């Protein structure tokens, strides 16, 4: 926000220089990022009139101008500007003049013709070409014909001014106006605020019966004010208005457009002017756009609209996108004779969403997005009418359409002075707090020792007692609040059991060689197709975002694996072909009748390639058995009952022959396996990827068993190997179960160490070899005891599984 110091003083007396005001505003939370002295370095530039223009004898692209700066002084100046005409009043830099950028003007000869000075463009005087009228952006600056001659150019075009460049926080939309900044200055300096009071003279012709405003979406348009102007005369705005607009960074266009921009900068209320004769039936309808409805905007671009966008329409269709941009069909042109002026309040979120979707940002949409004063719509329309009348640009019809379906209800908040003192660490008297808030236009009443504060309509950012305390603090002066240590009851922080277990899970997986990653909770709707999820799968029931960053991040994830696979894909594209990553995060599922989703904690990992050798481990292929070992290690380290794995063939995301369901007891925790080749192809991954995804809540619920102390054995163990031949469809887990049960208390451990299928084993069978360890805590076992237990194990395997000992 660019604030003209000269313009600001129209609303409040400022007895301090711009630098001091900037410092005091910054200390009060309205940061002034910089000061710009518009006329700094410009000297000896005066207003002059072009008396005669002649062609240059030696150059086709130069002309020789005879110029006077008053009091009979005549100068000859050579210029290459193409927009000079006899009789124009222009800025003239005489010999010895200094221009913006440090250029010094000297007497010169250009292609043999003497030139005593220079005709100046706006850019040479330090003005932004973008803020100049289109015919002067790249040529000589043209001044009004009645401008006195011989005047210092700086006050004539507003260069005797200092610009305060504000760096506002998003909550201070009220300071996106001259009046809002003046209110802050008045409160800081203890001066009276002088807001403009619009007074207009209306003609007998009334707006009633000629125009109509219907609001179909009162939630998105809380107020719509319309005024009708007739006998419009389009022309340039006066120099004083152009100066102020340029100081604010706005390019003057014509008197009508400049009035709407002037009021927006002055009061913070965006306005829009429609050519009234182009509105069908003189009717305005504020409604949602129909899906794929089309509007050609003022920049002559076809905009395709969606059903969540608010538009201004007439019976024939949309004529503007509410709060963003008008339509070309109702544009005010040089032929316009009647204008319907819009001054409305549009919902900030609606404008922000529409502006982003259409890729259109403007000064108006910026103000609507931050929230404007709904009570200021009528005042802004009347102020524009006053300026129109003052400039002689038209007549004002009597009456105003003020459709106000959702009237503003002022918020009231109780402020406790003692609470303010506790928060700020310094005592603020009740009288001082009341005085500060009153200067900021808050209504203040006594409430039995407390203050009952009414929030003004322009302060949409204030809604709680702590907001009022902030207002008191910044006006009291942050520099006057002493630095103190925080006080209060000290409590010892501690993790919950769930947090401790989650941290332990992360540690164990990292120790196993996996790297933790954090991926977006948003994902693309196509993830379900890429993972070949069936049509009825719960994981296809995604929650769509109302305001997505992009189509690739438009729904909430129901799986962690797509994000992990994308990580491996990005790494693979950068020639990092080995990877082992995991993530702990939440997945989201919609709930019927509930606005918020169900959030489920999940654990997932994905690996590919191989893990290089480390200081304490050899190189290892990252496959199914690696991740199975990781899960078994995790279970042991977090005190979980032994995991077991069942073959799984029905999951379309995983390889049908290399996938298992993961169980703890009878509860299924998730899936472990190689991703299906079709899934890998959809991610353009040529290497195998093994992954698992588990329900973290169930995992943690069954974890946390406290290890029991057991003394070291005093008596030696006896080892035996047992190789049995069983049908290959019998899982090793079932054989282990029977061995443990038949081995009894003396069997201290059993481990599968070899699996063989080949010529020495008949077709359809395989050999499983187990290492058995027998040990007693009170004696040394005999060979006979171990032989009896081994025989019992063999008999149980033969009876229950038809197993045979391998010779």
DSSP state of 56: -
372-410 in b/e form (b: 16+ CB < 10 A) is: bbbbbbbbbbbbbbbbbbebebbbbbebbbebbeeeeee
- Give the C-alpha separation, 191 to 661, whole Å: 76
Distance CA 448, CA 438 (A): 18
Find tokens 């942050």 and name the residue: 478
SS3 content of the chain, % helix, strand, coil (to 5): 30, 30, 40
Q: Report the alpha-carbon distance of residue 353 to residue 432 in Å, rounded.
A: 41
Q: How many other CB atoms are found less than 10 A from the CB of residue 757?
A: 12
Element (H, E) at 769: strand 765-774
Q: What does the block give as tokens for 595?
A: 């606005």
Name the token pair of 326.
Answer: 């008008």
For 196, list phi and psi in degrees, rounded to 5. Answer: -65, 140
Q: Is-contact 462 456, C-beta < 8 A?
A: no
CA–CA dist 207, 221 (Å, integer) = 21
String of DSSP letters for 247-270: HTT-----HHHHHHHHHHHHHS--
Q: Does the annotation place 467 within a ligand binding site? A: yes
The encoded tokens of residue 552 equal: 């690739």
Neighbouring CB atoms inside 10 A of 419's CB total 15
Q: What's the CA gap between 368 and 370, in Å, rounded?
A: 5
CA distance 594 to 325: 35
Three-class DSSP category at 659:
strand
The Cα–Cα gap between 331 and 338 comes to 12
The beta-strand segments (E) located in 641-757 are 643-647, 654-664, 667-675, 689-695, 718-727, 747-756
| Torsion sign over Cα 177, 178, 182, 185 | positive
Distance (Å, rounded) from C-alpha 538 to C-alpha 535?
9
Contacts of 18 (CB under 8 A, 6+ apart): 5, 35, 162, 164
Closest CA to 268 of 198, 385, 368: 368
d(CA 53, CA 22): 47
461 in a labelled binding site: yes
100 Cβ contact partners less than 8 Å away, ≥ 6 residues apart:
41, 42, 123, 124, 125, 126
471 is in an annotated binding site: yes
Cβ(343)–Cβ(308) under 8 Å? Answer: no
- By CB atoms closer than 10 A (0-12, 13-18, 19+), residue 106 is exposed
Q: Count CB neighbours of 202 within 10 A.
A: 16
CA distance 22 to 627: 62
**Residue 452 exposed, middle or buried by CB count within 10 Å (0-12, 13-18, 19+):** middle
The residue assigned the tokens 């008596």 is 715
Binding residues for Mg(2+): 461, 467, 470-471
Q: Which residues define the annotated binding site?
A: 461, 467, 470-471
């Amino acid at each position: 926000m660019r604030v003209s110091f000269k313009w600001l003083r129209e609303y409040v007396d400022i007895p301090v220089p711009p630098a001091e005001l900037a410092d005091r505003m910054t200390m009060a939370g309205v940061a002034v990022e910089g000061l710009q002295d518009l006329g700094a370095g410009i000297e000896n530039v005066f207003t002059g009139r072009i008396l005669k223009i002649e062609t240059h004898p030696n150059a086709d692209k130069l002309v020789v101008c005879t110029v006077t700066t008053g009091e009979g002084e005549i100068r000859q100046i050579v210029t290459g500007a193409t927009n000079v005409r006899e009789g124009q009043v222009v800025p003239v830099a005489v010999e010895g003049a200094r221009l913006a950028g440090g250029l010094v003007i000297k007497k010169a000869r250009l292609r043999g013709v003497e030139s005593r000075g220079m005709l100046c463009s706006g850019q040479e005087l330090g003005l932004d070409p973008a803020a100049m009228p289109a015919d002067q952006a790249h040529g000589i600056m043209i001044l009004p014909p009645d401008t006195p001659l011989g005047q210092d150019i700086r006050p004539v075009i507003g260069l005797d001014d200092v610009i305060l460049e504000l760096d506002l926080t998003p909550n201070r939309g009220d300071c996106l106006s001259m009046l809002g900044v003046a209110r802050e200055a008045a409160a800081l300096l203890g001066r009276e605020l002088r807001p403009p009071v619009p007074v207009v003279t209306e003609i007998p012709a009334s707006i009633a019966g000629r125009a109509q405003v219907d609001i179909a979406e009162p939630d998105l348009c809380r107020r719509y004010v319309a005024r009708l102007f007739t006998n419009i005369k389009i022309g340039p705005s006066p120099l004083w208005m152009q100066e102020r607009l340029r100081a604010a960074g706005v390019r003057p266009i014509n008197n009508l457009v400049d009035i709407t921009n002037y009021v927006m900068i002055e009061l913070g209320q965006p306005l829009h002017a429609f050519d009234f004769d182009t509105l069908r039936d003189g009717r305005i309808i504020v409604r949602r756009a129909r899906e794929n409805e089309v509007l050609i905007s003022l920049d002559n671009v076809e905009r395709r609209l969606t059903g969540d966008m608010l538009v201004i329409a007439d019976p024939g269709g949309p004529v503007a996108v509410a709060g963003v941009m008008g339509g070309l069909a109702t544009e005010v042109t040089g032929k316009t004779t009647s204008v319907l002026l819009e001054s409305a309040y549009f919902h900030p979120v609606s404008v922000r969403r529409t502006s982003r979707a259409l890729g259109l940002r403007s000064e108006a949409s910026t103000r609507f997005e931050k929230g404007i004063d709904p009570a200021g719509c009528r005042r802004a329309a009347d102020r524009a009418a006053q300026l129109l009348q003052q400039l002689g640009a038209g007549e004002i019809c009597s009456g105003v359409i003020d459709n106000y379906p959702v009237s503003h209800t002022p918020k009231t908040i109780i402020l406790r002075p003692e609470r303010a003192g506790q928060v700020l660490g310094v005592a603020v008297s009740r009288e001082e707090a009341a005085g500060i808030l009153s200067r900021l236009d808050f209504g203040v009443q006594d409430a039995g020792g407390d203050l009952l504060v009414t929030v003004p309509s322009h302060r949409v950012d204030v809604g709680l007692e702590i907001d009022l305390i902030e207002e008191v603090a910044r006006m009291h002066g942050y520099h006057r609040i002493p630095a103190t240590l925080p006080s209060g009851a000290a409590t010892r922080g501690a993790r919950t059991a769930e947090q401790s277990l989650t941290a332990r899970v992360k540690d164990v997986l990292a120790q196993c060689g996996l790297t933790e990653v954090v991926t977006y909770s948003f994902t693309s709707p196509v993830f379900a197709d890429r993972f070949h999820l069936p049509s009825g799968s719960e994981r296809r029931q995604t929650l769509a975002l109302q305001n997505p960053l992009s189509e690739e991040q438009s729904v909430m994830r129901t799986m962690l694996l797509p994000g992990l696979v994308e990580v491996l894909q990005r790494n693979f594209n950068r020639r990092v072909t080995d990877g082992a990553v995991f993530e702990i995060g939440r997945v989201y599922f919609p709930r019927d009748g509930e606005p918020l989703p169900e959030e489920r904690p999940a654990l997932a990992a994905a690996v590919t390639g191989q893990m290089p050798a480390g200081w304490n481990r050899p190189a290892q292929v990252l496959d199914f058995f690696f991740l199975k070992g990781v899960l078994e290690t995790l279970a042991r380290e977090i005190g979980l009952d032994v995991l077991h794995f069942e073959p799984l063939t029905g999951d379309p995301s995983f390889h049908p022959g290399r996938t298992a369901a993961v169980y703890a007891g009878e509860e299924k925790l998730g899936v472990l396996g190689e991703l299906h080749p079709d899934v890998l192809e959809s991610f353009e991954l040529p290497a195998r990827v093994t992954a698992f995804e588990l329900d973290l809540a169930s995992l943690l619920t069954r974890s946390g068993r406290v290890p029991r102390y057991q003394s070291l054995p005093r008596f030696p163990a006896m080892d035996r190997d047992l190789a049995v031949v069983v049908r290959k469809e019998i899982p090793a887990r079932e054989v282990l179960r029977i061995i443990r049960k038949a081995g009894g208390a003396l069997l201290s451990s059993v481990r599968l160490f070899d699996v063989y299928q080949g010529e020495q084993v008949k077709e359809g069978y395989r050999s499983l070899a187990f290492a058995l360890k027998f040990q007693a805590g009170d004696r040394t076992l005999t060979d006979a005891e171990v032989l009896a237990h081994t025989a019992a194990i063999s008999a149980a395997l033969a009876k229950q599984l038809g197993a045979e000992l391998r010779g």
